[in-house]
């Protein structure tokens, strides 16, 4: 195959990324597939970022006056353009993030799906009619556009997370400034070139409605600290999220955080093990273990642990690892050498803390960053298990009582996704009860990874508490306003207060 970076350049040209995006010096790009060097991108310095925010503020003054269904028309056109460019954009996701082909296609399909959701939402930004205690008065609650939204996205879903935020923000009346991960900026530029075609067809959108700012940590910090941006949506590590939250809170802004996950699957004696093995394999090694919803902890009843581990050992030994462009490959590369180092250090720590590596754990020689997914049997939920390592390591622990299993599931700092495999209605309902899983996502007989856009996505505790995508997540991008209208000729006060002058 041709070098991944060369293929990326061809796709960028086809999608219409302008030459002005590239520079002689700036942010260097590379593909994790083979380490080939891609184009160098111009970075946004403080002056350029300030100008981008100013354009976004000006765009808001015009965009909030556009009727919401008309705003939805822009997102509908974006969905059409994404359908036309799906193959190219998905291929770029594979080349830049290292996802296998079907996962790259799935990520772009997720963008298309959220476009469809947001178009319908543009006619359903519902408020409430409230009963007033005062005669001749009408109360209602409405939702108004909020203002420019800063989106800081991570490398593992380089385009879908932007779409979750941008599609909702745009129909809600908000401009968007996108700071993509410095590890995957090419997909952001390609997405924006696709959006530019939708904007051209739309015809009268204000300048600066959606912008990309390329840069590293400092760019994200400046974006988070800017008081002209009322909402910052950040996806990434808990460390990053805490820094963003503090910067935004210091100016009394809003932050929407989707951070780390340390997701568990509970396997009970009644579970369908054939189905569970398939779910474990995808959840633990899909995207090379680099999803925030990846399966990290497998909590198995002691009576079936040996049998299940033996089956997983066999499955792991046959996992095809390699260039994600090749047919049949299921596990692509880690994003970079730092990720591989984290993988190796975590395995060493697991062994030091009493763990036994059952299978995997080695790194492949050659170009690219490839490792063999590992299973580690642990005697207890030690420090390394409680820490999220963004790599394909599955820790296996056993339990004897279902209450103990749920307690183990909840006994980590993160609270994103969780699941149980059982044929017992009682166990399933307990897992979903108020005293069951403490995560934002709880599944029965399905893995923790692979959420649909219709539900609100996010979690609790160190996961940040934010919600993106479906359900009523749109409310984060708007401001609530309670309105009271007096249509009488009297002026009664609430609570019976008398104040006659």
Instruction: Tell me the catalytic residues.
Output: 258, 292
Beta strand ranges found along 344-391 (DSSP E): 356-359, 374-377
CA 5 to CA 11: how far, in whole Å?
Answer: 10
Mode of pairing for the β-strands spanning 393-399 and 231-235: unpaired
Strand order, beta sheet including 210-212: 210-212, 176-179, 149-152, 231-235, 254-258
Count CA atoms closer than 13 A to 5's CA, side-chain side.
14
Tally Cβ neighbours within 10 Å of residue 157.
27
Residue indicated by tokens 């190219």: 88
Distances (CA, A) of 163 to 56, 66, 152, 167, 240: 18, 20, 12, 6, 21
Distances (CA, A) of 151 to 176, 235, 236: 7, 8, 11
Residues 6 or more apart in contact with residue 92 via CB below 8 angstroms: 8, 11, 12, 15, 104, 186, 187, 190
| DSSP secondary structure string for all residues of 156-171 | SSTTHHHHHHHHHHHH
Tally Cβ neighbours within 10 Å of residue 440.
24
CA 173 to CA 164: how far, in whole Å?
Answer: 15
CA 476 to CA 466: how far, in whole Å?
Answer: 9
């Amino acid at each position: 195959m041709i070098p991944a970076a060369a293929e990326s350049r061809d796709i960028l040209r086809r999608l219409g990324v302008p030459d002005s995006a590239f520079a002689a010096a700036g942010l260097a790009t590379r593909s994790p597939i083979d380490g080939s060097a891609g184009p160098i991108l111009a970075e946004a310095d403080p002056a350029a970022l300030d100008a981008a925010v100013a354009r976004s503020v000006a765009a808001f003054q015009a965009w909030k006056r556009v009727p919401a269904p008309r705003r939805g028309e822009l997102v509908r056109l974006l969905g059409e353009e994404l359908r036309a460019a799906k193959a190219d954009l998905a291929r770029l996701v594979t080349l830049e993030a290292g996802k296998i082909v079907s996962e790259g296609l799935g990520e772009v399909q997720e963008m298309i799906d959220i476009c469809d959701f947001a178009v319908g939402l543009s006619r359903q930004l519902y408020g409430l009619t409230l009963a007033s205690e005062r005669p001749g008065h009408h109360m209602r609650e409405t939702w108004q556009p909020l203002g420019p939204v800063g989106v800081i996205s991570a490398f593992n879903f380089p385009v879908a997370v932007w779409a979750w935020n941008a599609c909702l923000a745009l129909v809600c009346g908000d401009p968007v400034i996108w700071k993509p991960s410095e590890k995957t900026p090419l997909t952001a530029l390609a997405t924006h070139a696709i959006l530019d075609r939708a904007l051209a067809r739309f015809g009268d959108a204000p300048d600066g409605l959606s912008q990309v700012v390329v840069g590293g940590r400092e760019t994200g910090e400046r974006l988070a600290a800017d008081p002209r941006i009322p909402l910052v949506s950040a996806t990434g590590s808990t460390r990053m999220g805490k820094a963003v939250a503090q910067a935004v809170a210091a100016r009394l802004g809003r932050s929407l955080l989707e951070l780390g996950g340390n997701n568990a699957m509970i396997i009970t004696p009644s579970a369908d093990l054939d189905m569970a093995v398939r779910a474990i394999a995808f959840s633990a090694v899909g995207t090379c273990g680099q999803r925030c919803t990846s399966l990290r902890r497998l909590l198995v009843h002691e009576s079936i642990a040996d049998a299940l581990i033996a089956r997983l050992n066999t499955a792991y030994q046959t996992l095809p690892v390699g260039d994600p462009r090749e047919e049949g490959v299921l596990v692509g590369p880690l994003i970079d050498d730092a990720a591989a180092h984290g993988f190796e250090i975590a395995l060493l720590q697991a062994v030091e803390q009493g763990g036994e590596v059952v299978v995997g754990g080695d790194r492949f020689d050659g170009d690219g960053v490839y490792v063999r997914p590992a299973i580690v049997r642990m005697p207890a939920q030690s420090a390394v298990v409680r820490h999220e390592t963004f790599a394909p390591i599955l820790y296996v622990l056993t339990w004897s009582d279902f209450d103990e299993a749920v307690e183990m599931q909840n006994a980590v700092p993160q609270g994103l996704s969780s699941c149980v495999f059982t044929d017992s209605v009682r166990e399933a309902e307990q897992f979903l009860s108020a005293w069951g899983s403490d995560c934002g996502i709880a599944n029965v007989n399905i893995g923790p990874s692979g959420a649909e856009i219709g539900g609100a996505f996010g979690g609790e505790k160190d996961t940040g508490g934010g919600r993106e995508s479906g359900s009523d997540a749109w409310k984060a991008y708007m401001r609530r306003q309670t309105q009271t209208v007096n249509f009488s000729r009297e002026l009664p006060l609430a609570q019976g207060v008398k104040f006659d002058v």
